[in-house]
């Protein structure tokens, strides 16, 4: 069988990938938990963010880590505007409209990217993707290690924001009781847009962390969002802690699955979990029971 | 301080309020009374900007607010404690109260929190508890406390006695009188005609989207029509 060192390395690698997955899932679960919509544009927005990281590097010479802050802010503003001025007004308060609108946005974005960049697969220049750190007997990828650390910090900051700030309280308030929020002077349209903006900022950060070890093409976001959906279901729809834990678990499952079954079957475990959770515990690990 | 002229409003094509004229002055408790479904809550929602006025004017402290957004109306100090409490069930009692000063009164949040806790000692005991797990009476206290956190110039209470036991209803009306005695004008919207008329200075009776009767609480409670329709006498 496999030596413990190899299994341990696979697990740590999985944790690191899982942290990036968690960021993608955080945005999805937050938007679902507060706006009660499944954002079908999430994958396309992630793809946009990944192209933006590429553009920052190739156009402006700004590396992916230096791009975290500016792209995070840019995507927050983008997400804010998208929800406030496009998705919100066009939904007329009906969730199924929102569904179609986000689906429409994803189609527009994907095709715009296809028109601009063809379906070629691109990567960042340089060889930072191959940097490794020695940790005891394990060889760990440096960009993934950095990615994991940053993802955990971002998740912690998000948790603090939600738990401690007035904006975070307003987000939680609007999620459960919109009219009650209005009578204390919270503007739900603003809070929805802020939430959507935070979701997009998470994507931008995830894109910065992914690109050193991953490629980008106009469809790449969808693969992540499929995994992110599994994480959201596993962790519990709307749960921030659930998204983080779920992301880490899924990362490890995928990595161990890859080790045992080979790369191409590695994701099998993820979808097995998806089905098992739906069968046994549809509210997820941290979801509120109805 | 609140003046309403020729107010019309409704939902879709259904007109619920068909020409409301009323006023609340400084220091008063004014009651708006009426049976279930006559439009009392609709009136409150129009006041707080949650649904639009179709026609007419609402002036609050001399300013037109009938086109203002709900948050601007809160900022002006017109605070609505809604029917059914509408507290945030997933948050603690303390967080609910803190959010009361989201738009207004934030600089004095700590002091006002102390004040609310002194008015409602029960809320202090439960400050770390999720608001959704409070009893009905406690939830009503929390909703009023949350409103007080915004330093209201006028407090609208929509059916504060709804769903409370008779003993708690008595307590609630005593409390409303006490808040008013401390200088807070109150617009009390109720189905509980008898007890509301006991503490109100003036009252309006809403029927079919219009005020069928208005005047001082004494006049209104002496009206033979009202005694027959609402008090069964
Ligand atoms: N959101 C709504 N959409 C359509 N009609 C409504 C809505 N809310 C209330 N109504 C109708 O408006 C009328 C007045 O309701 P409401 O203001 O809640 O009365 P009250 O508070 O006096 O019991 C009722 O006939 C009710 O059915
Ligand atoms: Mg009502």
**pLDDT score of A288:** 64
What is the rounded CA–CA span in Å between residue B155 and residue B77? 8
**pLDDT score of B134:** 96
Which chain A residues are closer than 8 Å to B88 by Cβ? Answer: 172-173, 176-177, 180-181
B169: exposed, middle or buried (Cβ count in 10 Å: 0-12, 13-18, 19+): middle
What is the rounded CA–CA span in Å between residue A265 and residue B192? 68
Residue A85 lies in a domain: yes
Residue A256 lies in a domain: no
Q: Is CATH 3.90.420.10 the right assignment for the domain spanning B1-77+154-233? A: no
Residues of chain B scoring pLDDT < 50: none
Domain with CATH 3.40.50.300 in chain B: 1-77+154-233
Query: Cα separations (Å) of A39 from A61, A161, A194, A232?
Result: 32, 22, 15, 12
Q: How far is the CA of B188 from the centre of ligand 1 (A)?
A: 18
- Give the chain A residue nearest B157 (alpha carbons): A183
Q: How far is the CA of B159 from the centre of ligand 2 (A)?
A: 7
What is the rounded CA–CA span in Å between residue B52 and residue B156? 17
Q: Give how far A93 is from chain B: nearest CA, Å.
A: 14
Q: Where is pLDDT greater, at B202 or A279?
A: B202
Q: Mean of the per-residue pLDDT values for chain A? A: 89
Q: How far apart are the first and last CA of chain B?
A: 35
Q: Closest CB to A169: pick one of B99, B104, B146.
A: B99
Q: Which H or E run includes B40?
A: helix B40-47
ipTM value, please give it: 0.94
The verdict on a CB contact (< 8 Å) between A175 and B90 is: yes
Atom number in ligand 1 closest to CA B43: 17
Residue A192 lies in a domain: yes
Answer yes or no: is pLDDT of A289 > 80: no
**pLDDT score of B233:** 64
Residue A10 lies in a domain: no
B50/A contact by beta carbon, under 8 A: yes
Q: Indicate the DSSP class of residue B185.
A: -
- pLDDT > 90 fraction of chain A, expressed in percent and rounded: 51
**pLDDT score of A214:** 87
Question: Does the Cβ of B221 fall within 6 Å of ligand 1?
Answer: no
Distant-in-sequence, close-in-space partners of B167: CB < 8 Å, separation ≥ 6: none
Residue B65 is encoded by which pair of tokens? 């607010």
What is the rounded CA–CA span in Å between residue A177 and residue A164? 19
pLDDT tens digits for range A152-182:
999 999 999 999 999 999 999 999 999 999 9
Q: What does residue B215 show for φ and ψ, rounded to 5 degrees?
A: 150, -170
Give the model's confidence band at A1: pLDDT under 50 very low, under 70 low, under 90 confident, else very high: low
Residue A140 lies in a domain: yes
Residue A257 is encoded by which pair of tokens? 């699955």
Which chain B residues are closer than 8 Å to A173 by Cβ? Answer: 88, 91, 99
pLDDT tens digits for range A182-194:
999 999 999 999 9
Q: How far is the CA of B104 from the centre of ligand 1 (A)?
A: 29
pLDDT tens digits for range B29-83:
999 999 999 999 999 999 999 999 999 999 999 999 999 999 999 999 999 999 9
Answer yes or no: is pLDDT of A90 > 70: yes
Tell me how many domains chain A contains.
1
Q: Which H or E run includes A66?
A: none
Residue A251 lies in a domain: no
Burial B33-62, CB ≥16 within 10 A → b, else e: bbeeebbbbbbbbbbbbbbebeebebebee
Residue A145 lies in a domain: yes
Q: Closest CB to B87: pick one of A169, A175, A180.
A: A180
Question: Does the Cβ of B40 fall within 6 Å of ligand 1?
Answer: yes
Distant-in-sequence, close-in-space partners of B219: CB < 8 Å, separation ≥ 6: none
Structural domain containing residue A55: 18-219
Residue A60 lies in a domain: yes
Q: Where is pLDDT greater, at A268 or A108?
A: A108
Give the model's confidence band at A290: pLDDT under 50 very low, under 70 low, under 90 confident, else very high: very low
């Amino acid at each position: 069988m496999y030596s413990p060192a190899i299994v341990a390395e696979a697990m740590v690698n999985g944790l690191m990938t899982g942290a990036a997955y968690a960021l993608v899932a955080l945005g999805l679960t937050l938007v679902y938990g507060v706006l009660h919509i499944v954002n079908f544009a999430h994958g396309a927005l992630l793809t946009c963010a990944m192209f933006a990281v590429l553009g920052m590097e190739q156009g402006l010479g700004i590396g992916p880590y230096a791009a975290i802050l500016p792209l995070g802010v840019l995507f927050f503003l983008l997400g804010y505007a998208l929800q406030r001025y496009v998705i919100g007004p066009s939904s007329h308060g009906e969730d199924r409209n929102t569904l179609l609108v986000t689906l429409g946005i994803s189609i527009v974005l994907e095709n715009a990217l296809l028109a601009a960049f063809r379906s070629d697969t691109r990567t960042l220049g340089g060889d930072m993707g191959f940097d490794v750190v020695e940790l005891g007997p394990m060889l760990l990828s440096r960009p993934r290690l950095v990615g994991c650390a940053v993802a955990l910090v971002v998740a912690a900051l998000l948790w603090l924001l939600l738990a401690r700030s007035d904006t975070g309280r307003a987000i939680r308030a609007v999620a459960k009781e919109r009219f009650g929020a209005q009578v204390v002077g919270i503007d739900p349209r603003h809070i929805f847009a802020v939430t959507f903006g935070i979701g997009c900022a998470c994507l931008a950060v995830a894109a910065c962390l992914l690109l050193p070890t991953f490629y980008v093409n106009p469809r790449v976001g969808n693969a992540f969002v499929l995994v992110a959906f599994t994480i959201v279901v596993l962790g519990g729809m709307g749960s921030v802690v659930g998204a983080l834990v779920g992301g880490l678990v899924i990362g490890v499952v995928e990595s161990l699955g890859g080790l045992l079954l080979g790369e191409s079957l590695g994701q099998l475990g993820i979808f097995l979990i998806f089905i098992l959770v739906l069968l046994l515990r549809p509210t997820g690990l941290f979801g509120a029971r109805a | 301080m609140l003046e309403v002229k020729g107010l019309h409003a409704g939902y879709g094509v259904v007109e619920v309020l068909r020409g409301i004229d009323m006023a609340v002055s400084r220091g008063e408790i004014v009651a708006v009374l009426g049976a279930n479904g006559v439009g009392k809550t609709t009136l409150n929602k129009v006041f707080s900007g949650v649904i639009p006025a179709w026609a007419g004017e609402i002036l609050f402290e001399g300013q037109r607010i009938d086109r203002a957004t709900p948050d601007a109306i809160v900022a002006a100090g017109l605070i609505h404690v809604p029917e059914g409490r509408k507290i945030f069930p997933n948050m603690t009692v303390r967080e609910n109260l803190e959010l009361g000063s989201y738009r207004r009164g934030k600089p004095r949040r700590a002091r006002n929190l102390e004040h609310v806790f002194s008015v409602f000692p029960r809320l202090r005991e439960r400050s770390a508890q999720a608001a959704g797990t409070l009893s009905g009476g406690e939830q009503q206290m929390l909703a009023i406390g949350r409103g007080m956190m915004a330093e209201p110039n006028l407090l609208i209470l929509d059916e504060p006695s709804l769903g409370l036991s008779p003993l708690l209803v008595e307590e609630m009306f005593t409390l409303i009188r006490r808040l008013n005695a401390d200088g807070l004008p109150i617009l009390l919207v109720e189905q509980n005609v008898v007890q509301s008329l006991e503490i109100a200075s003036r009252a309006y009776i809403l029927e079919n989207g219009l005020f069928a009767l208005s005047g001082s609480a004494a006049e209104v409670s002496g009206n033979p029509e009202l005694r027959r329709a609402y008090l069964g006498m």
